[in-house]
Structure 1
Amino acid sequence: MELRSLDWFLVFICFYFRFALTIAPSPCINWCDINPDNGFCRGCYRTLPEIADWSKLSNSNKLEVLEKLQARKPQVIQ
């Protein structure tokens, strides 16, 4: 059974929305070093499980992780 052009279009749209339209960007800044005192990456402030699971997380779960990162960052006194 051959796929019609509409079927290919629908496959493309599903792929596009699943992989290309990721709303939540990765917080990785390519400075990967886990702080042994708190378990957070010194670059992005995620935990190892959050880093490992990032590509599998839904956008809503990614946004939840991103919200936690602000509180994990050390506050700079000015």
Structure 2
Amino acid sequence: PNSKVIPFAPLRNADNSGYTVTISPPVDFSDLHDEAEIAARMNKVIETEIMKGVEQYMWLHRRFKTQPNEDNHLYK
């Protein structure tokens, strides 16, 4: 909880000339002591950064490797 996280989001420029990196203010966790609260705040930070350019985010992580109903193919 004593560490701060500096969020950033590299977004490809519309003209494909490169990237623009936005650096956000540090996120302080020192007011939190519960791991679930820390994780929830961090998840919100990540969500905020992704939403700056959600169409550019690479959704590669197969979090749900097995499905209760194998007919439901989540990653097709």
Give TM-score scaled by structure 2 length: 0.29
Larger Rg: 1
Q: Name whichever structure is richer in helix by fraction.
A: 1
- Per residue, is there more strand in 1 or in 2? 2
Higher relative contact order (CA 8 A, sep 6+): 2
Q: TM-score by structure 1 length?
A: 0.28
